[in-house]
Amino acid sequence: MTWKKFSGEIIHSPILEEVEQAIEREYHLGNKLKVCIGTDSQVKGSYTDFATVIVFLREKKGAFMFIHQEKSHKKMSIKERMLTEVQKSIETAYALCNLLDLYDVDLEVHADINTNPMFKSNQALHEAMGYILSMGFVFKAKPEAFASSTCANKMVQ
């Protein structure tokens, strides 16, 4: 799985190693961190483009993120696509949670799902929320889910 920085620079070391180095660097600079993980997708003709982001929020000092992008040629309903986004975010969160616990970094999983029933993505809200909460993660949906709805969204456009 290839990750990159926002600058486009490819991360060659394992993501767990890169995240640990980032946490240590930020702590040495005196920054308190929170990590938000989210995924967004966009259908582009015969394929769907997915982007998963790990957003590091520095308390009162901005943020930075790591990005993973992939394409799927599988046809999916809106609900299946939303739950696939959530699955990708949970896989990433699960891979990082022990490390984040070790460094006492708060973690949120963001779902690009609207809480308003007027929107199609709302079909997946209850399943996504149950999935994320049952894994023990803090859940955020739109409009609070900026990692997926803003950060990851920029990567799939």
Structure tokens at 46: 């015969």
Asked if 11 and 5 count as a contact pair (C-beta separation under 8 A), the reply is yes
Full-model pTM: 0.93
Mean pLDDT on 69-92: 94
Asked if 85 and 92 count as a contact pair (C-beta separation under 8 A), the reply is no
Q: 23-36, pLDDT tens digit by residue?
A: 999 999 999 999 99
Question: Taking the domains of the chain in order of start, what are their residue ranges?
Answer: 3-156
CATH, domain 3-156, list 3.30.1360, 3.30.420, 3.30.470, 3.40.1710: 3.30.420
